[in-house]
Amino acid sequence: MSGYKYLTPHQMLDLLIKNPNMLLIGIDKKGLITLASQALLKLLNRTEDEVLGKYVGDIIPGEKLTQVMETGRVDEADVTLINGKKIIVSRVPIISEGKIVGAFAASVFTDSSRIKTVLEQLNEEFDTIISQIIESPTMGYVVINENTEITHVNQTYLDIVGLKAEDTIGKKILDVIPYSKMPRVLETGKAEKIDLWSANGHNMFVSRLPIMKNGKVIGAIGHTLTLDLSVPQFLVSKLQETDSQFNAIFEGLIENPNTAYIIVDKDGYITVMNQTFLDIIGKKREDVIGKHVLEVLPHSKLPETLRTGRMDSADIWPIVEGRDILINRIPIWQNGEIIGAIGHSMVLDMSGAKMLMKKLQETQKELSVYKDEVNAMYQAKWRFEDLLGRSNEFITVKAMARQFAQTSSTLLITGESGTGKELFAQAIHNASNRRNGPFIRINCVTLPENLLESELFGYEDGAFTGAKKGGKPGKFELARGGTVFLDEIGDMPMSMQTKLLSVLQERVIERVGGTKPIDINVRVIAATNRNLEEMVANNEFRKDLYYRLNVVRLHIPPLRKRMEDLPVLVAGLIPRINEKLGTSVNRITEQALDILRRYSWPGNVRELENILERAINLASIRSADCIDTGDVSTLLTNDTPITVDTDSRRKLNEAIDELEKSMIIKALEETGYNKTKTAQVLGIHSSALYRKLSKYGLN
């Protein structure tokens, strides 16, 4: 080894590309493939010339690398379909000088249990082990915090113990599982070897591990039937028996050409080393058996395993100079004493893994900044403390909204235009466990009908004329882990209502022009100022969609029904408007406030804000520091009556419809019935105008 030379980064990348166990693909900012490993080419059954320079979606349909570039998010341990084979990959954007210039995807393993182990090795640089938990039908997980309260549990574990999530989350582990040994892990801070555990008549292997952060135990995780630990432990327990039949089976397992094994006795002398391990270190069996492990492998940590009894999972270890492997070490116990230790590799070549880890570490800080910028685009601004009011009606509605924030059910918010339905939706999002996810608003009336589907669900490359190269994710995809707010849901076309119903039922979408179902993880909040029950009766809104949306309902009262909130709203709005305008009109006279009290406010809080903004501008022009009667005098001459006849049989919605209809007729007359110009005059899209023309019989 004296003549050994360190590999350059280019040489290491070349070895990584040629590694038969490494799937690797890279793209530039246009989505064109710039790098493809030999293992990937073999899986695709293509040559380099057939792949390099081609658009990634054309070579691997449905691959999400372009989505990683758009969102800037690391996509860890996701399943992708390559030539009919499911592969677990991690995708990472490539950032240069603060800009995303490409992305790459890599898969070191071909099964979820092993890829998760690698991600756990990267865990110190990113997050705690909790974020690495996966849902699996064969593995049950439960996580507790430092107070022994259950914070996470998957469905497999719930099925094992026969409980529901609401019966476990937030409860002390011993109140749920009286004989659990997980609190002991919190006390010792040590991982516990595979244990046999029984629940509801099922016997299973259980591992318990501490969750560490900054050297401190912040929780513990228990998981059942994990292949990477239970299999070696099973072998270890069988080794402790003298079963000749098992020994024959074990010989077959130990000589697996894809796994390297070494076993030492209690004094550190090698008793077993399989041919794979021998080939890596370039030794013969007779040169190692009976020798002390440090004599053969000077940097081995198996003596430390013998001394401490600690299990090491997924440790990167230099088996020979210039070649690393990922290894597990497990002590062998008998009658409470350590009688040996076993080391086995999960992958034969990790030279590329270190490069990947270094790249992830270098880009993490820039990625965090980019994520913040992306999240700011879809950020919910309003919180419950921003919603002003002291009337009984408002306090009740606000309390209900706080409760609804704690559920993930679909929510329908109703109320007249201008009552603040979106503000409540944002506050609910910010008070929910989705607060760190996006809040994406979609106005169902302003988007043209032919674009609504592609905006909601996205589209694939070539789905229609003018479609963006590589396709585009829809709002439901972008809102992953957050909230989609469907405003003016009552104006959604019937054709889209059918598709939305399917999404709410199945929780999957398909892009326009696509065939691959995409799972969605969003909460849907819908809002409308229309009477959906009436629309359902008139066959203008799907009944089944109405029932699906109306799981939980919140009705925002109009301002005229909570006039005692008027002074509070005025006092809260004036500073906000001053900040916006750069003015210093900081109060209102009692006489002017009295005019506001006597007005009917058909436009609700939104109209109040507009009136106050106009009044502040007028007061500022005359260099006054307060709003006076002259600044709100337009309300006295407004055609809308100042008082409301509560006995009137006409509903407000009917009056609004009549006003809207008359405005449309007037605009049509002014433009000579040119519908395009009419839409421009009214400030709405042509498709919205056509729907309103149909609604009022003006076609």
Give per-residue pLDDT as tens, 380-420.
889 999 999 989 989 999 999 999 999 888 999 999 999 99
Highest-confidence range of 4-8, 315-319, 649-653, by mean pLDDT? 315-319
DSSP string across 592-618: HHHHHHTS--TTHHHHHHHHHHHHHHH
Which DSSP state fits 311? Answer: -
d(C-alpha 24, C-alpha 12), whole Å:
13
Buried-exposed string 651-666: b where 16+ CB fall within 10 A, e elsewhere = ebeeebeeeebeebee
Residue 589: band (very low, low, confident or very high) from pLDDT cuts 50, 70, 90: very high
Highest-confidence range of 231-245, 652-666, 678-692, by mean pLDDT? 678-692
Q: What's the whole-number average pLDDT of the chain?
A: 77
| pLDDT tens digits for range 284-302 | 988 899 899 999 998 888 9
- From 357, 355, 352, 358, select the one nearest 18 (Cα to Cα): 352
Domains along the sequence of the chain with CATH: 9-108 (3.30.450.20), 128-225 (3.30.450.20), 248-341 (3.30.450.20), 378-555 (3.40.50.300), 560-637 (1.10.8.60), 652-695 (1.10.10.60)
| pLDDT tens digits for range 637-656 | 544 444 444 444 345 556 66
Share of the chain above pLDDT 90, in %: 21
- Angle of the 449-457 helix axis to the 494-506 helix axis, nearest 10: 10
Contact 191, 315 (CB under 8 A): no
Contact 664, 680 (CB under 8 A): no
- 431: pLDDT strictly greater than 90: yes
Tracing tokens 């756990």 back to the chain, one arrives at: 120
d(C-alpha 422, C-alpha 542), whole Å:
23
What confidence score (pLDDT) does residue 193 get? Answer: 55
The answer, as to whether pTM is greater than 0.85, is no
What confidence score (pLDDT) does residue 360 get? Answer: 47
Which residue would you say has higher pLDDT here, 463 or 175? 175
* Whole-Å CA distances, 246 to 106, 208, 258, 262, 498: 37, 27, 21, 18, 59
What confidence score (pLDDT) does residue 116 get? Answer: 43
Highest-confidence range of 17-21, 468-472, 511-515, by mean pLDDT? 511-515
What confidence score (pLDDT) does residue 369 get? Answer: 45
What confidence score (pLDDT) does residue 559 get? Answer: 93
DSSP string across 42-99: HHHT--HHHHTTSBHHHHSTT--HHHHHHH---EEEEEEEETTEEEEEEEEEEEETTE
- 176: pLDDT strictly greater than 90: no
What confidence score (pLDDT) does residue 412 get? Answer: 95
Residue 44: band (very low, low, confident or very high) from pLDDT cuts 50, 70, 90: confident
What confidence score (pLDDT) does residue 295 get? Answer: 92
| pLDDT tens digits for range 360-369 | 455 454 445 4
Residue 381 phi, psi (nearest 5) = -90, -40
| pLDDT tens digits for range 508-542 | 888 888 888 888 889 999 999 999 999 999 999 99
Q: Are strands 75-82 and 85-96 parallel, antiparallel or unpaired?
A: antiparallel
Tracing tokens 């009044």 back to the chain, one arrives at: 615
- 630: pLDDT strictly greater than 80: yes
Contact 115, 32 (CB under 8 A): no
